[in-house]
């Protein structure tokens, strides 16, 4: 049985490859949604899903760009990812642009206009490789001209001794203080919960244990919780 499944997986990969090769020969339907199907045993297929409403999912009926239809068992598919029309168009036009500063800049601008951020960044980085002093590409990548060098904000701030903490740049001293404050608040919260529990015990068979627990408190972080507990007890006494 295991050997048969292994052969089935291998044949599925062959069929997918064949479908992709055949599909490259004919124009596809530009309006249909496309998906990338990654197979568990290797290989990938790009095409239109013909049975999107199938529940529960048992098979994937896929139509390639060239009109070739192939059926995959659901167990053969690792992931299915929607392929934006802009991404399809990008893959189609990308080979047309030369590997020059001008060509890569033009393609990066096309990506910007079509909201393909990751692809745009790749082409901007290629421009910087070809021309390290290309100012528009540097600035688009987040660089600034500082002290005679191109530097990102991250590089500059780290050189100044700052660290990235809670969505902003801070000095190590600020981080240390904030961490201490965070720990103090966590400890105070724990004491609030403990004292609330012990106060409830005061009216029952565990009253002695509650009194002993409160009497042995030595943690400075318990001061706020103790103050609040005493205030609450005083208010209760006045109402009685």
Give 106: exposed, middle or buried? Use CB within 10 Å, 0-12, 13-18, 19+.
middle
Neighbour count for residue 117 (Cβ, 10 Å): 9
C-alpha atoms less than 13 angstroms from C-alpha of 162 in its C-beta half-sphere: 13
Q: Where are the strands (E) in 21-141, listed by range?
A: 34-39, 44-49, 59-63, 69-73, 77-83
The answer to whether 119 and 136 have CB atoms below 8 angstroms apart is no
Domain total of the chain: 3
Q: In three state form, how does the secondary structure of 88-107 look?
A: HHHHHHHHHCCCCHHHHHHH
**Residue for token pair 């509650």:** 210
129: in domain: yes
Q: Let me know whether 145 and 206 are in one domain.
A: no
Residues 22/15, Cβ–Cβ less than 8 Å: no
Q: Distance (Å, rounded) from C-alpha 72 to C-alpha 207? A: 68
Q: Which residues, listed in sequence order, are joined to residue 170 by a DSSP beta bridge?
A: 163
Q: Quick check: is 1 in a domain?
A: no
pLDDT of the residue at 230: 83
Question: What pLDDT shows up at residue 117?
Answer: 97
Instruction: Kindly state the helix (H) or strand (E) to which residue 189 belongs, with its residue range.
Output: helix 172-201
Per-residue pLDDT tens digits for 213-223: 999 999 999 99
Is the pLDDT confidence value at 19 over 70?
no
Q: What pTM, to 2 d.p., does this model score?
A: 0.56
> In which band, very low, low, confident or very high, does the pLDDT at 228 lie, cut at 50, 70 and 90?
confident
Question: 152-204 pLDDT, tens per residue?
Answer: 999 999 999 999 999 999 999 999 999 999 999 999 999 999 999 999 998 89
94 and 77 share one domain: no
Domain with 108 in it: 89-159
CATH number at residue 141: 1.25.40.10
Q: Which of 98, 129, 159 is the last residue of a domain?
A: 159
Nearest-5° Cα angle at 63, 57 to 66: 165
What is the token pair recorded at 27? 């124009």
Rg (CA), the chain: 32
Quote the percentage of the chain above a pLDDT of 90. Answer: 69
C-alpha span between 220 and 81 (Å, rounded): 54
Mean pLDDT of the 111-124 span: 98
pLDDT tens digit sequence for 48-90: 999 999 999 999 999 987 889 999 999 999 999 998 999 989 9
Nearest CA among 60, 56, 53, 54 for reference residue 79: 60
Q: Are residues 17 and 78 in the same domain?
A: yes
């Amino acid at each position: 049985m295991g050997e048969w499944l292994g052969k089935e997986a291998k044949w599925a990969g062959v069929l997918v490859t064949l479908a992709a090769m055949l599909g490259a020969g004919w124009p596809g339907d530009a309006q249909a949604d496309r998906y990338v199907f990654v197979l568990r045993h290797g290989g990938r297929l790009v095409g239109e899903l013909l049975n999107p409403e199938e529940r529960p999912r048992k098979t994937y009926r896929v139509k390639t760009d060239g009109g070739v239809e192939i059926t995959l068992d659901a167990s053969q598919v690792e992931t299915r990812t929607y392929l934006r029309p802009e991404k399809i168009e990008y893959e189609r036009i990308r080979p047309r642009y030369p590997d020059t500063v001008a060509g890569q800049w033009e393609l990066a601008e096309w990506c910007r206009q079509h909201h393909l951020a990751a692809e745009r960044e790749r082409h901007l980085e290629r421009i910087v490789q070809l021309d390290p002093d290309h100012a528009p590409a540097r600035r688009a990548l987040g660089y600034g001209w500082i002290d005679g060098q191109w530097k990102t904000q991250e590089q500059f701030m780290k050189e100044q001794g700052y660290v990235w903490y809670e969505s902003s740049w801070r000095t190590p001293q600020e981080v240390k203080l904030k961490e201490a404050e965070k720990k103090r608040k966590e400890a105070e919260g724990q004491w609030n919960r403990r004292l609330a529990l012990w106060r409830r015990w005061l009216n029952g068979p565990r009253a002695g244990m509650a009194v002993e627990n409160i009497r042995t408190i030595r943690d400075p972080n318990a001061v706020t919780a103790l103050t609040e507990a005493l205030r609450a007890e005083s208010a209760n006494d006045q109402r009685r």
